[in-house]
């Protein structure tokens, strides 16, 4: 862009080399190794892994809890610590234990970000990262039970 005498931008110029617009946005994104992450640290998700796709899966009736027991469980620290891998990940959010395994491929920050709180209480990290997100609705079908740390 160029400035006129009043300081207003009047003409669009192509983005600097190594930058390109993101989608239909005019915000530039760096090309190269870092291009897998967007401006907010988001990763490119596989096709079929949008928030709408997650909502469909949540409402599909599939068991996303990862346990066969029908009611909520009381989960100890020891039990929680066993569930910290990509294929079996539980976390605590607000005193409730959620199976985050089915959500891994849908998380905009990528699997590695979710794994940071797998097998432990992720409440503080969640609040620091995106306190505005209603995890109780988003993960309602993934509720394993309640955290009993002692």
- Residue 139 is given by DSSP the state T
Query: Within this chain, do residues 70 and 51 fall inside the same structural domain, yes or no?
Result: yes
CB 145 within 8 A of CB 98: no
pTM (two decimals): 0.72
Helix (H, G, I), strand (E, B) or coil at 23: coil
145: left (phi over 0), alpha (psi -120 to 50) or beta: left
pLDDT: is 82 or 37 the higher one? 82
Query: Within this chain, do residues 68 and 48 fall inside the same structural domain, yes or no?
Result: yes
Query: Within this chain, do residues 64 and 112 fall inside the same structural domain, yes or no?
Result: yes
Query: Within this chain, do residues 53 and 13 fall inside the same structural domain, yes or no?
Result: no
Chain segment 45-100, per-residue pLDDT in tens: 888 889 999 999 999 999 999 999 889 999 999 999 999 999 999 999 999 999 99
Query: Within this chain, do residues 26 and 2 fall inside the same structural domain, yes or no?
Result: yes
121 strand-pairing partners: 92
Q: What is the reported pLDDT for 23? A: 44
Query: Within this chain, do residues 19 and 87 fall inside the same structural domain, yes or no?
Result: no
Query: Within this chain, do residues 48 and 102 fall inside the same structural domain, yes or no?
Result: yes
Query: Within this chain, do residues 35 and 47 fall inside the same structural domain, yes or no?
Result: no
CA distances from 148 to 71, 81, 90, 97, 120 (A): 16, 13, 14, 10, 12
Backbone dihedral angles phi then psi of residue 149, each to the nearest 5 degrees:
-65, -20
120 strand-pairing partners: 91
Residue with tokens 């997650």: 54
Query: Within this chain, do residues 140 and 73 fall inside the same structural domain, yes or no?
Result: yes
Domain that residue 10 falls in: 1-39
Distance CA 32, CA 116 (A): 25
């Amino acid at each position: 862009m160029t400035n006129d005498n009043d300081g207003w931008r009047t003409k669009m110029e192509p983005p600097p080399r190594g930058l390109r617009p993101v989608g239909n946005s005019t915000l530039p994104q760096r090309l190269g190794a870092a291009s897998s992450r967007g401006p907010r640290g988001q990763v490119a998700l596989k096709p079929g892994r949008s928030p709408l796709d997650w909502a469909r899966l949540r409402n599909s009736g599939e068991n996303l809890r990862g346990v066969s027991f029908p009611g909520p469980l009381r989960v100890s620290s020891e039990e929680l610590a066993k569930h910290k891998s990509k294929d079996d990940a539980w976390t605590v959010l607000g005193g409730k234990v959620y199976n985050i395994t089915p959500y891994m491929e849908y998380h905009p920050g990528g699997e590695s970000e979710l794994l940071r709180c797998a097998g432990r209480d992720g409440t503080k990290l969640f609040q620091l990262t995106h306190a505005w997100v209603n995890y109780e609705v988003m993960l309602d079908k993934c509720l394993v039970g309640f955290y009993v740390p002692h």
